[in-house]
Amino acid sequence: MARQPCNYILASQKHGALYIGVTSNLAQRLWHHKEGIIEGSSKRYQIYLLVYFEMFDDMATAIAREKQLKNWHRDWKCNLIEAHNPAWADLAPGLGL
């Protein structure tokens, strides 16, 4: 997967703990999460299932969207995930990751 700005939502399980992040290299960032390299809530609560992501043309837009999503109510975040991924399946394998 080529480097491209994106934001993503990870979950510990269906309707579990959520983590929202932004990166220019989704493959590398997911590997960091799954290997526990990134300290914080994703490591502490084993939040590493990629359940949603959005790609952007530039990092500024991706960061703005990340801030927007982080300010949403939990129900809104869950509705966004379920609109695109009703089973809350890990999307990483489908991306070849």
Tens digits of residue pLDDT in 41-53 = 888 888 999 999 9
Mean pLDDT of 17-37: 92
- Among 1-10, 15-24, 54-63, which stretch is predicted with the lowest mean pLDDT? 1-10
Q: Does the pLDDT of residue 1 top 60, yes or no?
A: no
- For residue 88, give its domain range: 6-95
1 in a domain, yes or no?
no
Give the predicted TM-score (pTM) of the model: 0.93
Indicate the number of domains in the chain: 1
* CA distances to 10, 16, 32 from 43, in Å: 11, 14, 10
Torsion of CA 41, 96, 90, 70, to 10 degrees: 50
Q: Does the pLDDT of residue 34 top 80, yes or no?
A: yes
The CATH number of the domain holding residue 58 is: 3.40.1440
28 in a domain, yes or no?
yes
39 in a domain, yes or no?
yes
34 in a domain, yes or no?
yes
Mean pLDDT of 70-76: 97
